[in-house]
């Protein structure tokens, strides 16, 4: 079945760039998402990319998509302590399932001062 995989942990120093990686299996994915979850909070939509795009930049966030390798990454420039959270990669296929997103297990980002 469809699957999304992420590494579980990432630790960086404040001011450095963070790169969170994700791989997925569904070749018919239409949208790929990054959600952020802070302790005790819900899933906050950070950014998303259409499968026909290679890159999307939004302020400190850069999303890169390699559709051939089914690899998605999220780069956070100038990482701050407030960026410490769990980051979830998710994929959706709107040609098929409406709103049935497949999530990864999440990457816990720790930012050290």
Partner 1 sequence: EPEVTQTPSHQVTQMGQEVILRCVPISNHLYFYWYRQILGQKVEFLVSFYNNEISEKSEIFDDQFSVERPDGSNFTLKIRSTKLEDSAMYFCASSGVAGAPLHFGNGTRLTVT
Does 23 sit near partner 1 (CB under 8 A)?
A: no
Provide the mask over 69-98, with x wherever binding to partner 1 is found by CB under 8 A and - wherever it is not: -------------------x-x---x--xx
Residue 87 sits at φ, ψ, to 5 deg, of: -110, 125
Pick between residue 12 and residue 101 the one whose CB is nearest to partner 1: 101
Provide the mask over 25-54, with x wherever binding to partner 1 is found by CB under 8 A and - wherever it is not: -----xx-x-x----xxxxxx--x------
Using alpha carbons, list the distances in angstroms from residue 111 to 8, 29, 55, 66, 90. Answer: 14, 31, 25, 27, 23
| Distance between CA atoms of residues 67 and 42, nearest Å | 28
């Amino acid at each position: 079945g469809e699957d999304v995989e992420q590494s579980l942990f990432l630790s960086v120093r404040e001011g450095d760039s963070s790169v969170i990686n994700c791989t997925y299996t569904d070749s018919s994915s239409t949208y790929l998402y990054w959600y952020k979850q802070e302790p005790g909070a819900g899933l906050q939509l950070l950014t998303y990319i259409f499968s026909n795009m290679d890159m999307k930049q939004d302020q400190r966030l850069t999303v890169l998509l390699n559709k051939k390798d089914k690899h998605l990454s999220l780069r956070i420039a100038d990482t701050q302590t407030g960026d410490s959270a769990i980051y979830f990669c998710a994929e959706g296929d709107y040609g098929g399932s409406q709103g049935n997103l497949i999530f990864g297990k999440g990457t816990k980002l720790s930012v050290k001062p």
